[in-house]
Amino acid sequence: MSDAALTTEWARLLLGMLAQSGVREAVISPGSRSTPFTFAALREPTLRCHDIVDERSAAFFALGQAKVSGEPTLLLCTSGSAAANYLPAVVEANNSHTPLLILTADRPLELQDCSAHQTIDQNRLFGQHARAFFELGAPDAAPSALAGVARIAAQACLRSRSPVPGAVHLNARARKPLEPVTPAPDSTVRRAVDALLERGPTRSTPARVGPPADGLERLAAACQRAERGVIIAGPRLPGQPDLVGAVAELARRSGFVVFPEAPSQLRFGLAGRLPPEQICDGFDALLRARSFAFEPDLVLELGPPPVSGGYERWLARQPRCARYVLAEHGFPDPSGTAAEVVLGSLDHTLSELLAALPAPAGAVAEARCQFAGALGRANARVWEALEQDAAPELDERRAVKLTLASLPEGALLALGNSLPIREVDVFCRAVPRPGIQVLCQRGASGIDGLVSSAAGAAARSGRPTTLLLGDISFLHDLGGLWAARRIQSPLALVILNNQGGRIFEQLPLGHSAALRPGEIDHWTTPHALDLARAGDLFGIPSSQVNDAETLSAALAAAHGRAGPTVIEVQLPGDRTTAALERFWRRVEQAFERAP
C-alpha cells in the first residue's frame, strides 16, 4: 500500500472513531498538512464541519459550542504556529471545565529541529492547560497501531469530559503526498479499518462524583443549625445539568435566601418559583453598602466564585463567616476563608443534601422567616434607589434593560466580561424569562473571543442568541464576524460603545492622584472608531443607535431576522463610571437613613 493510501485510511479511522465516540461538530482551519484529516472529517456523515480561517476565532467558536452542549467539539488545524493560536481558548476551557478536542496535524520526525518550513515542536504544546496529550505518530499499517488509533480516539473523548472536563490534544503526523488516495477494497489495511469502524470504539462512562459522606453530614448539620442562611450562585455552563428545581426545593425546605447571579442559570429560572423575599436580586449593590448590617450565620456558595464585586468586598470584611463552597471541580475559594469545600456533581450534592435536611420548625423556622423578610425589605430599597436615579436619555442602564427585555422565549444570552456581565445583575431584576440561558467566559475571565464563542453557541444550539459586550471586547474579536456571518438563527451582537474600558475608572487606579490628566487613557484606550461599519466587510446588517426607541426597534429587527446583526449602542463614556458611583451612593444613603 502507498504512503498516501495508508495516510488516508489512518485519518478515516481516527475521524470515524472520534465521531463514534460522540463528537458531532468539527471546526476546521485550512492548511496543507492537515489535508488527510480534513478530507476524512468531510467524509464522516455524522460530523458537521465549520470552516473558520483564523485559528484563534475557530477555537472560541468551538468553545462556545462545547459550553452550550456539554460535549467536546473537534478543532483541526495544520502544522506550525497555527495551533498556538488555540491557547487562549484552551486556557478558558481549562479554567471553566469545558470539554474540547484538538487535533493538530504535524510533520514527520525527520523534519524536526532542522529548520524545515512550518515545523515547530508541537508535543504538549498547551502544557498544563490541556487535560491530556496523545502523540499518534506517523501512520502505521500494523494491526496493533490501528487498534491503538481506535483506543486513543475513545480515550481522548473520555478525558475531555471526565474526571475533570477540559481540552485534550492529539498530535498526528503525516508525510507527503497528503492528498487522499483510496486503496483497493481488498487491501489489508482497508479491511482492518472497516472492521474496527464496524466494531466501534470501546464504550466509556464518565465518572459521576458524589460528595463524601462525612462532608455531606457536616454540611447538613450546618444547614440545620443556621437561622440566617443564604445561597449564592456563581457562573454555571448552559450545558451542565439544570439546578433550578433542586435549588428552589432547597430554598423552600430551608427558608434560606438565594442570591442568584445571571450566569448561574438561576436568576431568571427561580423567579416565580419562590416567594419574592427569598430571591435577593439586588445583592451586589446591597453588599456594597457598609451601612447595611448583613450578618448571615451560614453562606452556601454554589459553583465557581461569584462575579459580584459587592460580594467580594463584603467577604473580605467577614473572615470568619461560616461559608461552605459546593463545587464540581477544583478548589474555588480564592479568599481562603471557606469552612469547607464540598466537591461532587452539584445536582447529586443538592439531591443528597435535600434528603438529609428536614424542614425547619419552631424558633429556627421563625428566625429564618424574619431574616428573609428583612432581606426582602432591604432588597426593595436597592431597586427604589436605582429607579430614582434613572436618567431620561439612553445610558448603559437603559441599554442593558432594553436588551434583556427584548429577548425572545428560549433565547441564549451571551455576556461579555468587565462591565456587561456585572451590569445585568445591577440593572435587571430577576423576573421569569422562560427558557433563557446565559453564556459567559468566567474561567479565565478574559475579553477575547466573545463574538466567536457566541457564534459557536448559536450554531450548536440553534437558539436565538444575543451577545452583550463592550467596545474593547468587540475590537478584540473582529475576526469573529467571519464565524458569525454563517449563523442561520438570529444572532444580535449588541455593542455598548462607551469609548473604552471604563471598568479601569472604577478601580483604585481611576482615582489615583499619581496619574496625570489623560494618563488613564493608557488603560481605558478610547478609540473613536465607527464600530457598526465592521459589519459591512462581512456583509452583516448593522446599525448605530443613540436613543431608546431606535435601540428597541433595532433589537426587534435583529431577533426577527435570520443570521447576525451588529447593533452599536453609542453611549457617553464620561458618564458610565459617574452614574454607577452615584447609584452606589444612593443605596448607601438609603440605609444610612433607615431606622
What CA–CA distance (Å, rounded) separates 385 from 387?
6
Claim to verify: residue 427 and residue 479 sit in the same structural domain: yes
For residue 506, pLDDT beyond 80: no
- CATH number, residue 337: 3.40.50.1220
Cβ-in-10-Å burial (0-12, 13-18, 19+) of 116 comes to: middle
Nearest to 152 by CA among 16, 304, 323: 16
Claim to verify: residue 403 and residue 383 sit in the same structural domain: no
For residue 594, pLDDT beyond 70: no
DSSP-derived 3-state class of residue 494: strand
The predicted pLDDT at position 427 comes to 92
Q: Which residue has the cell 485534550?
A: 168
DSSP-derived 3-state class of residue 137: strand
Q: Which domain holds residue 502?
A: 396-591
* 439 φ, ψ (degrees, to nearest 5): -110, 135
Claim to verify: residue 9 and residue 147 sit in the same structural domain: yes
Neighbour tally for 176: CB within 10 Å? 13
Q: Which residue has the cell 473580605?
A: 316
The predicted pLDDT at position 595 comes to 58
For residue 584, pLDDT beyond 90: no
Claim to verify: residue 567 and residue 428 sit in the same structural domain: yes
Neighbour tally for 417: CB within 10 Å? 21
In this structure, of 201-210, 446-455, 547-556, the range with the lowest mean pLDDT score is: 201-210
Task: Please check whether residue 477 lies inside any domain of the structure.
Answer: yes
Q: Which helix (H) or strand (E) segment is 220 a member of? A: helix 213-225
- pLDDT tens-digit map of 509-522: 777 888 888 888 88
Task: Please check whether residue 361 lies inside any domain of the structure.
Answer: yes
The predicted pLDDT at position 386 comes to 84
Nearest to 285 by CA among 175, 422, 480: 422
From 199, 232, 263, the end of a domain falls on 199
Mean of the pLDDT values across residues 101-113?
92
For residue 3, pLDDT beyond 90: no
Claim to verify: residue 224 and residue 193 sit in the same structural domain: no
From 136, 164, 199, the end of a domain falls on 199
DSSP-derived 3-state class of residue 317: coil
- Across the strands, what pairs with 564? 491
- pLDDT tens-digit map of 124-182: 999 999 999 999 999 999 999 999 999 999 999 999 999 999 999 999 999 999 999 98
Claim to verify: residue 163 and residue 285 sit in the same structural domain: no
Claim to verify: residue 27 and residue 168 sit in the same structural domain: yes
Question: What's the number of domains the chain is made of?
Answer: 3
pTM: 0.95
DSSP assignment string, 496-511:
EE-SS-GGGGGSGGGG
CB 78 within 8 A of CB 34: yes
